[in-house]
Amino acid sequence: MMDGVGHCDLTRLTAAEALRLMADGRLTAHALVSASLERIHRRDGDVRAWLALSETALEQAERCDALPVGQRGRLHGLPIAIKDVFDTVDLPTTHNSPLYQGFRPAADAAVVGLLLSEGAIILGKTDTTEFAAAGRDAATGNPHDLSRTPGGSSAGSAAAVADFHVPLALATQTGGSTIRPASFCGIVGFKPSFGRVSREGAKIYAQSFDTVGWYGRSVEDVGLLAAVLGLDEPRDDRPLPAQLRVGVTSGPYADRLAPESRLALELSKARLENAGHKVEVLELPLEFSELDRHHRVILHREGQAAFRNLARRHGSLLHDDFHHRVENRDGSTLSDLARAYDAMALGRISFDHLMQDFDVVIAPSAPGFAPVGRRPGDPVFNASWTLLGVPCLNLPTPLDAPSLPIGVTLIAARFDDRSLLESARILEAVLNPQESSRYRNA
């Protein structure tokens, strides 16, 4: 079948646009996957987003094209990148660790299996900070400036979407590993409520925090995956008002914000007010200033348990960062851990109460622009929200003049993922105005 989209660059299509074109018979999965692979072969020598590519992706695309329309899944024919901490049968799962080079799991991670069941094509595995935790940095560069980091730990997934290799990619977040790279790379990133998406088949770092996330180039795109992964259930029957109630906060660490992140927050507030939404500057409860510290205590103590076996078995072959956790070099006590768990529980209750007055809260996604180098970046503006277990979505926020990407985080109450996505669809045109169509003639 011939493509019906003229000479447009297929890699610039959003996932939703590609699905509509394939449903109309104007695009084939084979053509879309071919375009993605060509883009990767042309660009990835510089970007270095990928650790492995599927050798059967085009065959999978041909099988998709042969399916009658009525038998096609919700992700039919879409090439998707998988962060290399998720188990995949057909591709190695290395965790970017020298201990796992060439490792082939016996089963796909639960989330990978769900994507495959809906017709997605797993194009390959993307680079990550070692075990999505510490140790070895990803080699990936930021497509907007290759000297800079795309952010970690989901470096390769974020860069693959930002550089138009794929329209969708899986990520994870334990501190800020989905939201911060989305800000650095200028894409939409979504971290759902804690516990709503299965982590089966993904390396565990911190049991209390590890969350499956994902990237797209629009809110509609990340909503596609949310529906497939079971996040289309409403928390309650309360409809969103035409004018959203928005709280804007710089959080308790405002002194660590660079000018560009301050400006992104100020512009977001002004744009929302100009669009008629009800905006209020929000002061978070005083005890929230301690949440980042509590997050670190829990993170490293749960990491101690997660990596103890590898430290014992492999000794110095395991990066010293992991021995740092196993040996508790931070010096935290079990009393510290108990207090941190209590603060996490109380903080979740407190934020649930606070959100009764708002439809969405907006906060910084990162301290500033992506820094030079390959380090993951500072998670201080993400870790507290991760600890609270709330859904978060990064929206790119263009500044008044051309610049590197920067974003803001939209936050909703726990388990209000569907409402957050609906709010983000409303606010996307306000905070990140774009052309109605993403694909352009070459």
pTM, full prediction = 0.96
| pLDDT at residue 1 is higher than 60 | no
Please, what is the average pLDDT of the chain?
A: 95
pLDDT band of residue 437 (cuts 50, 70, 90) is very low
Instruction: Look up tokens 């290399």; give the residue.
Output: 84
Are 168 and 189 contacting, i.e. CB atoms less than 8 angstroms apart? Answer: no
| DSSP per-residue letters across 270-339 | HHHHHTT-EEEE-PPPGGGGGHHHHHHHHHHHHHHHHHHHHHHHHGGGS-HHHHHHHTTTT---HHHHHH
Whole-number pLDDT of residue 2: 40
Chain segment 299-309, per-residue pLDDT in tens: 999 999 999 99
Domains of the chain as residue ranges with CATH: 10-291+332-439 (3.90.1300.10)
Q: Which residues are catalytic?
A: 83, 153, 177
Chain segment 264-278, per-residue pLDDT in tens: 999 999 999 999 999
CA–chain centroid gap for 55, Å, is 26
Spatial distance between the Cα atoms of 354 and 246, rounded to a whole number of angstroms: 12
C-alpha distances in Å from residue 90, one per residue of 87, 210, 236, 321 = 9, 24, 40, 30
Chain segment 225-240, per-residue pLDDT in tens: 999 999 999 999 888 9
- Percent of the chain with pLDDT strictly greater than 70: 96
Spatial distance between the Cα atoms of 7 and 158, rounded to a whole number of angstroms: 26
Spatial distance between the Cα atoms of 137 and 151, rounded to a whole number of angstroms: 10
pLDDT band of residue 4 (cuts 50, 70, 90) is low
Chain segment 277-301, per-residue pLDDT in tens: 999 999 999 999 999 999 999 999 9
